[in-house]
Amino acid sequence: MIEFIRYMGVFNELSLRHGLSLPSKPPAVYVLGKLCKKIGLILPDLYQQMMSWSTEQSPDRIAWDANLVCSIAYTCDGERLEPESATALYHTFTVHKELFNGLGE
């Protein structure tokens, strides 16, 4: 799953499920969050930094585990790509530049 989103760069629940032939339950973004939590056990300092950043980015001040590798995408007007903002049918995410390019960049 991590390699798929790294390759895709931009994704949502539907593209993740279809691209990886995943069932609809549990949601693919939930599975992604669980994977990131497991990675967080290996990289606890980085994980804690990302969870603090995640809390700051969230309008509800709630951290999301998958923010370790991706975050919500924004329109050119600075609006979140999400159903709540009426900008997309699904929450749309993009991988962090470091994951896309590699940590050596």
Which position has the higher pLDDT, 100 or 36? 36
Residue 104: is its pLDDT beyond 60?
no
The predicted pLDDT at position 23 comes to 95
For residue range 52-94, list pLDDT tens digits in order: 989 998 888 999 999 888 999 999 999 999 999 999 999 999 9
Q: Give the strand order in the sheet containing 10-12.
A: 10-12, 92-95, 70-72
The predicted pLDDT at position 60 comes to 87
| Residues 73 and 93: beta-carbon distance below 8 Å | yes
The predicted pLDDT at position 57 comes to 85
The predicted pLDDT at position 96 comes to 84
Residue 101: is its pLDDT beyond 80?
no
Cα 20 to the center of its chain, rounded Å: 16
For residue range 20-42, list pLDDT tens digits in order: 999 999 999 999 999 999 999 99
C-alpha to C-alpha distances, 6 to 10, 28, 37, 77, 83, nearest whole angstrom: 9, 15, 17, 25, 23
Which position has the higher pLDDT, 102 or 16? 16
The first and second tokens of residue 42, run together, are 């290996």
